[in-house]
Amino acid sequence: MPPDRSMPHQSPISSQRSSPLDLRTALRDAIAQLEHANVPSAALAAELLLMHTLGQDRAWLYAHPEHELDSAAREKYFALIGRRARGVPTQHLTGHQEFWGLDFEVTPDVLIPRPETEHVIEVSLERLGVSAERADSPRRRAAYRIADVGTGSGCIAIALAHELPVAQIVATDVSAAALEIARRNAARHNVATRIEFIECNLLDALLRQSPHFDLIASNPPYIGRREAATLPREVREHEPDSALYGGETGTELYAPLIAQAAQLLKPGGFLVLELGHNSAECVASLLRTHEWTDVALTKDLAGIARVASARRLQ
Ligand SMILES: C[S@@+](CC[C@H](N)C(=O)[O-])C[C@H]1O[C@@H](n2cnc3c(N)ncnc32)[C@H](O)[C@@H]1O
């Protein structure tokens, strides 16, 4: 029988009772509580939070369904489930998100890295011509100079540093708190010596330099403030405004970013930009100028144009 959503929410049986509670029952009760609160992917969230509570992986959970939670674990687990039911993202409760196969620390100060942003990494590697190259090939080991604008958790800069073992990267953000997390993530993945983190608007701090970048990548904020009410509460209430909103329409940062990239890319260098659901046309038209060539739009798995890329004309 589906839960009666008209009834006031009851506390879960599992968090109240004092009798032994095994993993299978704890998971079942947690999923019911999350579904009752309309949490998307309730089973996945319940599993991730149980793995986090017990410090175990999924295989261990599946292998030990009869394992009994002690009272401390039970209390901790259902406190997390309660917070998730009230809209706190799972990643803020565990403090982690995987991106490009790497584990990233996340806090409410940074955007939680999204799977679709991995297309930015794929397109960047394709544009540099190294996608099919082995990790130790000379092309991968070229001394690329790269910028990541609006680095947040550092996921784009760090994934590129990981793929390109001698690349030098500059990562900017307007948020000092985000840069702190990004620095910690760079240290965690042993690439801190190759990434310079700078607090500034777009690429402002670099504009006096001559064009020297081989690649500039960015996942800028691209949601319109006028769309705020349409966002899930997890996003609207828990992720930083500065990471979400690119202005009233959402496309406002692309024009200054493209203009700065044109100044700082070497001739033949590449610009790779993540797109919002309604920004492809605007960005493509900004790239249809004498400064850019080879303009391409790459679709994500849902068939939405997700990445725009272009080459700075020689
Ligand atoms: C959509 S988030 C992307 C974070 C990360 N690169 C990712 O892909 O998960 C955008 C980031 O840009 C930063 N930001 C917003 N406006 C900016 C600006 N004018 N200049 C530099 N960074 C900015 C935000 O603080 C946020 O960290």
**286 with 301, same domain?**
yes
Q: What is the pLDDT of residues 284-307, one digit of tens each?
A: 999 999 999 999 999 999 999 999
Whether pLDDT at 14 is above 80: no
- Is the domain of 150 the same as that of 29? no
178 lines ligand 1 (CB under 6 A): yes
* Range name among 79-83, 137-141, 166-170, 263-267 with the lowest pLDDT average: 137-141
Structure tokens at 68: 């009994």
Q: How confident is the model at residue 208 (pLDDT cuts 50, 70, 90)?
A: very high
pTM: 0.93
**Position 49 confidence tier, pLDDT thresholds 50, 70, 90:** very high
DSSP character string of 9-76: PPPPHHHH--S--BHHHHHHHHHHHHHHTT-TTHHHHHHHHHHHHHT--HHHHHH-TTPBP-HHHHHH
Query: Which residues pair with residue 163 across a beta bridge?
Result: none
Is 6 part of a structural domain of the chain? no
Amino acid letter for position 269: G
Average pLDDT over residues 256-278: 97
CB 275 near ligand 1, within 6 Å: no
**Phi, psi (deg, nearest 5) at residue 212:** -145, 0
Q: How far is the CA of 57 from the centre of ligand 1 (A)?
A: 32
> What residues does 245 pair with on adjacent strands?
223
CB 23 within 8 A of CB 61: yes
For ligand 1, the distance from its centroid to the CA atom of residue 241, given in whole angstroms, is 10
Domain count, the chain: 2
pLDDT at 58 over 80: yes
| Residues 72, 206 within the same domain | no
pLDDT tops 80 at residue 8 = no
Q: Residue 122's domain is classified under what CATH number?
A: 3.40.50.150
pLDDT digits (tens, 9 = 90+) for 76-96: 999 999 999 999 999 999 999
pLDDT surpassing 60 at residue 10: no
Assess whether the C-beta atom of 221 lies below 6 angstroms from ligand 1: yes
| Rounded Cα gap, residues 128 and 146, in angstroms | 11
Does residue 274 fall inside a structural domain? yes
Whether 173 lines ligand 1, by a CB cut-off of 6 Å, is yes
Least confident of 134-143, 202-211, 226-235, 256-265: 134-143
Based on the domain organization, do 150 and 62 belong to the same domain? Answer: no
Query: Does residue 9 surpass a pLDDT of 90?
Result: no
Q: What is the pLDDT of residue 76?
A: 97
Question: 157: CA distance to ligand 1 center in Å?
Answer: 12
pLDDT given at position 264: 98
Residues 6+ apart with CB under 8 A from 218: 148, 149, 150, 156, 257, 272, 273, 274
Answer yes or no: is 141 within a domain: yes
**pLDDT tops 90 at residue 109:** yes
Average pLDDT over residues 27-40: 97
Query: Which pLDDT score, from 0 to 100, does residue 18 have?
Result: 61
Task: Assess if residue 262 is contained within a domain.
Answer: yes
The string of DSSP letters for 222-258 reads -B-GGGGGGS-HHHHHHS-HHHHB-SSSS-TTHHHHH
List the residue whose alpha carbon is closest to atom 8 of ligand 1.
219
Alpha-carbon span 100 to 108, nearest angstrom: 21
**Whole-number mean pLDDT of the chain?**
93
At 135, is the pLDDT very low, low, confident or very high (cuts 50, 70, 90)? confident
C-alpha to C-alpha distances, 70 to 19, 20, 76, 302, nearest whole angstrom: 10, 8, 10, 43
Q: Which residues pair with 169 in a beta bridge?
A: 146, 195
Higher-scoring residue by pLDDT: 264, 20: 264
Q: Report the alpha-carbon distance of residue 24 to residue 28 in Å, rounded.
A: 6
What CATH number does residue 45 fall under? Answer: 1.10.8.10
